[in-house]
């Protein structure tokens, strides 16, 4: 569908799956796997080294080997960048090889620089995806800011390109709350956290309290911090939350007034990194106070 329509909604799904579903399915050392990717755990789940129906490990290997085919598309008159990643793509456009070299620390940072290498000046269209999570983006070519049309979620630049031309795309990237459709009954009253394409979760290893008792205040600020030494180098989110206390309940299971709330600071990690340190509680969808 993406190849037929060049609509960014399909690439958005592809990106979300790659950064969250696929990465979470395999441990960081590459030796164990999830058969399913749960969005909550009471601590009883962990990755397994093998399965009696072992489709997961070879499917991961096959996907990684073909990953380059998902980043770019091309025709005789256009080059399309669907995904942003450090590397280079070599495409046949206008009767010659055109190389697009990406320099970026995406998805942790929002700046993407693409340098074009081509044998001779050539007119063709370059299309760059504006991710669905991004509210605003700034586009420059050779340090000149451009205002170009957006077609189905892609910035479209039509011009004569020269060897060494540089395209810079800066995406507005901030942590935000994600809500589910009202007809998804299980998620009513819950909220998830996202920054860029990365979905976050609370994990017991970073928050040694009963996670099911945590409530997120509606207006609380979300702060992003880069932790180079944690889980291979990640951006974490820190925020104030409320913890329902159980000390004064005694033997009661029910009572006509709610639990006392204690203010605490919690740390959210990218969902794909969970269960790499220890088994424990984990939640993607969180109670909103």
Distance of CA 182 to the CA centre of its chain: 23
197 and 272 housed in the same domain: yes
Long-range CB contacts (< 8 A, 24+ apart) of 36-40? Answer: 38/282, 39/201, 39/283, 39/284, 39/285, 40/282, 40/283, 40/284, 40/285
pLDDT of 97 over the 80 cut = yes
Q: What is the pLDDT of residue 221?
A: 94
Same domain, 136 and 222: no
Q: 152 and 188: one domain?
A: no
CATH number at residue 157: 2.60.40.1180
**Residue 269 binned pLDDT confidence (cut-offs 50, 70, 90):** very high
**What is the mean pLDDT of the segment spanning 175-196?**
96
230 shares a domain with 161 = no
Q: Are residues 247 and 164 in the same domain?
A: no
Please report whether residue 19 resides in a domain: no
pTM over 0.85: yes
Q: Residue 246: which of 260, 265, 263 has the closest Cα?
A: 260
Split into its structural domains, the chain has a count of 2
Q: Is residue 26 part of a domain?
A: no
Residue 242: inside a domain: yes
Co-location of 139 and 208 in the same domain: no
pLDDT at residue 36, as a whole number: 87
Same domain, 148 and 182: no
Query: Is residue 43 a contact partner of residue 88, using CB atoms and an 8 Å limit?
Result: no
Structural domain including 144 reads 72-173
pLDDT of residue 83: 97
Express each pLDDT in 222-253 by its tens digit: 999 999 999 999 999 999 999 999 999 999 99
Write out pLDDT tens, residues 17-75: 999 999 999 999 989 988 889 999 999 999 988 877 777 778 888 898 999 899 999 99
Residue at 52 is within a domain: no
* pLDDT band (50, 70, 90) for residue 257: very high
Predicted local confidence at residue 94, as pLDDT: 87
Mean pLDDT for the chain overall: 94
| Same structural domain, 87 and 181 | no
Asked which of 173, 194, 223 is the last residue of a domain, the reply is 173
């Amino acid at each position: 569908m993406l190849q037929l329509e060049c609509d960014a909604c399909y690439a958005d799904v592809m990106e979300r799956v790659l950064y969250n579903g696929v990465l979470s399915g395999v441990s960081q050392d590459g030796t164990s796997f999830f058969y399913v990717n749960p969005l909550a755990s009471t601590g009883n789940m962990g990755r397994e080294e093998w399965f009696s129906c072992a489709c997961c490990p070879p499917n991961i290997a096959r996907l990684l080997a073909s990953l380059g085919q998902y980043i770019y598309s091309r025709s005789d008159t256009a080059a399309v960048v669907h995904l942003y990643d450090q590397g280079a793509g070599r495409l046949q456009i206008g009767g010659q090889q055109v190389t697009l070299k990406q320099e970026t620390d995406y998805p942790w940072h929002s700046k993407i620089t693409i340098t074009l290498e081509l044998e001779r000046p050539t007119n063709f269209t370059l299309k760059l995806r504006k991710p669905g999570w991004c509210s605003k983006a700034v586009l420059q070519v050779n340090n000149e800011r451009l205002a170009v049309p957006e077609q189905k979620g892609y910035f479209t630049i039509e011009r004569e390109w020269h060897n060494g031309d540089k395209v810079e795309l800066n995406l507005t990237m901030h942590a935000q709350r994600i809500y589910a459709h009202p007809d998804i009954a299980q998620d009513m009253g819950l909220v998830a956290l996202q920054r860029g394409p990365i979905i976050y979760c609370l994990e017991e290893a970073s928050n040694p309290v009963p996670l099911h008792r945590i409530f997120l205040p509606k207006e609380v600020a979300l702060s992003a911090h880069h932790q180079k030494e944690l889980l291979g180098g990640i951006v974490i989110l820190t925020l104030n939350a409320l913890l329902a206390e159980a000390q004064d309940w005694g033997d009661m299971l029910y009572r006509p007034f709610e639990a006392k709330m204690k203010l605490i600071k919690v740390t959210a990690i990218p969902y794909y990194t969970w269960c790499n340190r220890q088994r424990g509680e984990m939640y993607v969808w969180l109670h909103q106070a």
